[in-house]
Amino acid sequence: MGVVIESEVWEPNKALYIFLFISCVFSIFCLPRKSVSNVIDHAPPASFQRKFLLLYALASVMQGLWAVFGEYELAYYGFSKEQMLTFISVGYAVSLFFGSFLGMLSDLVGHKKLCLLFFMLHLFVSTWKIVVGTPTIWLASISLSLASSIFSFSFETWMVVEHDKLGQRQDSLNDMFWLMTFFESASFIGSQVLANYLIDGNVNKNIKSTWNAAAVLAVAAIIYVSRGWKEAPQIAIFKDYHISLHRHAISDKRIWLLSWAQTCVHFSLAAFWILWAPTIVADGREVSLGLIYPCLLGSKMLGSTGFPWFFHGRLVLRIEECLLYAFVIMGLALSIVAYDYQEIGVLVSLFCLFQACMGVVLPSLARLRTMYVPNEVRGGIMSLSLMPANAAILFFLILVLIMLTLQRGYYQYIGNSTIIAFAALGLFSAAGCMYLLKKWGKQLHQSIHHL
């Protein structure tokens, strides 16, 4: 097959930005009345919502800030492709062997403390880089990976536990789930804007300015958390906690199905963010990736605004049904990409569709966790469910690293399309889990209350 290298840099149509922006605004302003009342209410739960969303936005900006110029930063300090791959592999190894158990620690000592640890880890890395200058690949990878693990479960768990203490309505909690997804994506776009502003077109000269920004945000968040919330001591007895975690994780088949679905989502997301850029620029094509990135996140924001319509509006669907359809659509989108379709516009459209469905999937899974997973073990269940995904990602990364070390093209053994195909298969299996969860839900509902 002949390869045609495009002479012009491909950019998304500006109309796409306008469409995504108008669609998000229209969808929010036309939310069902129940959802609107929950957002603008002045009751104590709503006050907590606003404070928490501000904190979560800060955390999301910090997460995105490290990702925007991460590869450029490593290249700036002379890291080779193998060293960069080692950096990512070490991060997933830390997430697998240490981050998977932080959820249990969060349940035992308190979720606020783990959220504070998240900001302290970011402050530590940014301060280290400011003082020392040359980053230590192991230190930065370990610290940021632990922070990412905490970000994946602790904020959500803390929010759910605090809402339970405030005696919130289920509708209010459901709205927090889609708002967190919306604010996370918006904050990632904001982090890109902030990083580009600080870099000002000169990565080599202004790369340190991103570290200063991360340090300032971390200090502000630590002060905000320390003074803004009072969390009662939550040191549980480890033996009782272990019994409760074992009882729910082993005996409840619904939690097994939900955990596997979460694993598949985590793996597909990781594979997507690692491979979307290499897939688009394959065969030497020139593409403005920085302009595609906000389109992907904008699609995710738009998808999250559709969540209230499925459960408050006229399009009422059972949560498992909604997830089943979303997983099938995402699996089909990645299957087409895995088939190695070369048209850039089609690839970008499929990736946007994938992210739009992800905007619906993430709050929907959070809602299912609220239905099936007790709050006292929520953090442990969430973190443990990520172990298989982290192990699979680490396996592929090590395999690629070995091929590069042997100076043999890894594409001879395993290509990007193969990894994406595995992600698609995982999403199809997640759809099967939702089908079984819908089928078994009523049957297991009575038996789980007798445990």
Segment 247-292, tens digit of pLDDT: 777 777 888 899 999 999 999 999 999 888 888 887 767 788 888 8
Taking the C-alpha atoms of residue 215 and residue 221, their distance in angstroms, rounded to an integer, is 10
Q: What pLDDT digit, counting tens, does each position of 411-446 carry?
A: 445 678 888 999 999 999 999 999 998 877 655 444
Domain ranges of the chain: 43-235, 236-451
CA distance 189 to 395: 30
Quickly state the pLDDT bin for 316 (edges 50, 70, 90): low
SS3 228: helix
Q: What per-residue confidence (pLDDT) applies to 37?
A: 52
CB contact set of 330 (below 8 Å; sequence gap of 6+): 268, 353, 354, 357, 358, 361, 424, 427
Q: What is the pLDDT of residue 411?
A: 46
Mean pLDDT of all residues in the chain?
A: 81
* Nearest residue to 383 (alpha-carbon basis) of 245, 271, 272, 254: 245
Superfamily name and number for 43-235: MFS general substrate transporter like domains (1.20.1250.20)
- What digits encode the pLDDT tens for the residues 375-406? 888 888 899 999 999 999 999 888 877 777 77
Query: What local confidence, expressed as pLDDT, does residue 2 receive?
Result: 41
- Cβ neighbors of 30 (< 8 A, separation 6 or more) are none
- Cβ neighbours, 10 Å, residue 138: 12
Intrachain domains 43-235 and 236-451 with the same fold: yes
| Structure tokens, 423 | 């992600």
Q: Cα Rg for the chain, rounded, in angstroms?
A: 22
pLDDT tens-place string over residues 2-26: 444 444 677 787 888 788 888 888 7
In degrees and rounded to multiples of 5, residue 82 shows phi and psi of -65, -40
Domain topology for 236-451: Growth Hormone; Chain: A; (1.20.1250)
Angle at 120 between CA 93 and CA 373, to 5 degrees: 65
Q: Per-residue confidence at 107, pLDDT binned at 50, 70, 90?
A: confident
Q: Which helix (H) or strand (E) holds 43?
A: none
The Cβ of residue 3 has, within 10 Å, a number of other Cβ atoms equal to 9
Q: How far apart are CA 7 and CA 341, in angstroms?
A: 19
CB proximity list for 226: less than 8 A, separation 6 or greater: 116
C-beta separation of 123 from 219 below 8 A: yes
* pLDDT score, position 162: 85
pLDDT over 90, % of the chain = 33
- Residue bearing tokens 């299957």: 335
pLDDT single digits (tens) 331-340: 999 999 988 7
The pLDDT value recorded for residue 448 is: 41
Q: Which of 351, 359, 325, 341 is nearest to 428 (CA)?
A: 325
Which pLDDT band, with edges at 50, 70 and 90, does 135 fall under?
low
Residue 132 sits at φ, ψ, to 5 deg, of -85, -40
235 pLDDT higher than 80: no
Which tokens hold the place of 316? 């009422």
pLDDT digits (tens, 9 = 90+) for 19-60: 888 888 877 777 765 554 555 454 555 677 888 899 999 999
Spatial distance between the Cα atoms of 105 and 154, rounded to a whole number of angstroms? 10
Residue of 52, 36, 213, 228 lying closest to 122 (CA atoms) = 213
- 155-208 pLDDT tens trace: 999 999 888 887 766 667 888 899 999 999 999 999 888 888 887 766 666 677
Which pLDDT value is given to residue 33?
Answer: 55
